Amino acid sequence: MAALVVRGVRDMLKRADFATVPRRHRHKKKWATTEPKFPATRLALQNFDMTYSVQFGDLWPSIRVSLLSEQKYGALVNNFAAQDHVSAELEQLSARDFVKEAISHGEPEPENGQTAAPSPASWACSPNLQCFTFARGDVSCFPPARLGSLGVMDYYLMDAASLLPVLALGLQPGDTVLDLCAAPGGKTLALLQTSCCRKSEGWCLGQGKLPTSSCQGHTEYDELPGPGHLAANDLSTSRTGRLQKVLHSYVPQDIRDKNRVRVTSWDGRKWGELEGDTYDRVLVDVPCTTDRHSLHEEENNIFQRSRKKERQMLPMLQVQLLAAGLLATKPGGHVVYSTCSLSHLQNEYVVQGAIELLASQYSMEVQVEGLTHFRKLFMDTFSFFPSCQVGELVIPNLMANFGPMYFCKMCRMT
C-alpha cells in the first residue's frame, strides 16, 4: 500500500505543470534573498553548544556565560619603560602583580631567619615578567596604555592567561628562542621582557636581584642575561606587520637596531627543515578557533561558511606546526604548545598526535612535562580545568574571566 502511495505521488509530480505557477510564487533557493543567513558568531555558539556540552558536561553552562561576558585583561609591564613608575601607578588602581605573588607563594619558607633561594621546582617560570590583574570578582578595567617618559609604551594589555605559556617555557640566560607563530606580538613582547637589565637599579632582570657589581659593563638596557636570540615568525605578512608595530611601540630603537629579534614570514610547518636542532626553547602558539573571538567578532571569524574546510583542517595544521617546532628544538630543549581554544581536538589530541608522528617518522622521543606545580602557583588568579589528559587549560569563569588558554610543555629527549 505504501509503495502505491509513493508511486502515485511521483506520477503526480511528473504531470505537474510548474509553468502555470505565478512567477511571484516561484522559489529558486540559490537566488532567494529571504533564505536565513546566520552570522558566524551564532554558528560558533551552535558549534560550541554541541561539542563543549559533551566535553565539559556540567561545567559548560558556566563556561558559556563567561565566554559571552566581558573578558578580563592583564597589564604586562614594559621593562623597557620606567617600570617602577608604571608599577606604582598600577598598584594605585588596586591591581596586583599576579606573577610576583605566585612566585613568592611558591618559594620555600626561610630557615633560621635566612632567605631561602628558590628551588628549581618553584622557580619553573621565565623570569622578570610583571603582569598586573584585578582581584577575582573585580571587573575594573585598565586605562589604555600611554607613551612613557622613555619613548615607549608603559604596558601592554592582554589576556593575562596568555602569559602562562611564556612563563611555562622557563627561559634561561642565553637561550636561543623561536616563537613559531608570533603575531600579533603579545607573547613575543613577553619573551623579550626577560632580556632587560637595569644597571641603575642595581639588579639584572635576567637573573633576579644581583649586586650592582654584577652588572658592570652592561648598558641601561642590556640583553645579556636573557634570551641569546629570538626568532619571531608568522606566515601572514599582514600579521607580521602588526608584530613589527608592537615591537616599535614597546622596544627602544637601540635594542631593535642590535638585530636581537629576527622577524620572518615563513611557513612554520617547514621550520624543521629550515633550522632543525637549533633552539633551546620554542613557543608554538598555533592558529586555532580562537573561541572567545569567534563568539564576539564577525571579522576574520573562522566560523564563516566560506572557511568551513579551513576550520576542519585546523588539527592537521596544528600537528604539523608542533612537529616542526619540536624538530627545530635541540635535543634536551623545551617546547610549549598553546591555543586559545577549549577543544580537546586542538589541544591534547594535537600534542599526542605530534608525539606519535615524530616517533614513527623520525624515531624522536618527546616527553610531556607535568605542570601540576605550575598550576598550583597560579590557581589564585585563574580557573583551571581539572581533567586535562596532558597539559593545562584555563577555563573562563565569571570570577576570573580569563582564557580560554591551553598550554603543554614538552622536552625533546632525542
Q: Residue 293 is which amino acid?
A: H
Sort strands 229-233 and 261-264 into parallel, antiparallel or unpaired: parallel
Which of 125, 181, 215, 340 does the annotation list as catalytic?
Answer: 340
Contact 263, 244 (CB under 8 A): yes
Contact 340, 405 (CB under 8 A): yes
Please report where in the chains the cell 610583571 appears, as a residue: 130
* Residue 324: CA count within 13 A, CB half-sphere: 24
Close Cβ partners of 355 (under 8 Å, ≥ 6 residues apart) = 366, 368, 410
Close Cβ partners of 126 (under 8 Å, ≥ 6 residues apart) = 166, 167, 168, 169, 170, 171, 190, 191, 194
C-alpha grid cell for residue 98? 599576579
C-alpha grid cell for residue 411? 622536552
Contact 119, 394 (CB under 8 A): no
Residue 340 catalytic? yes
Give alpha helix (H) positions in 234-367.
237-250, 253-256, 271-274, 291-296, 308-312, 314-327, 348-362
Catalytic sites, residue numbers? 340
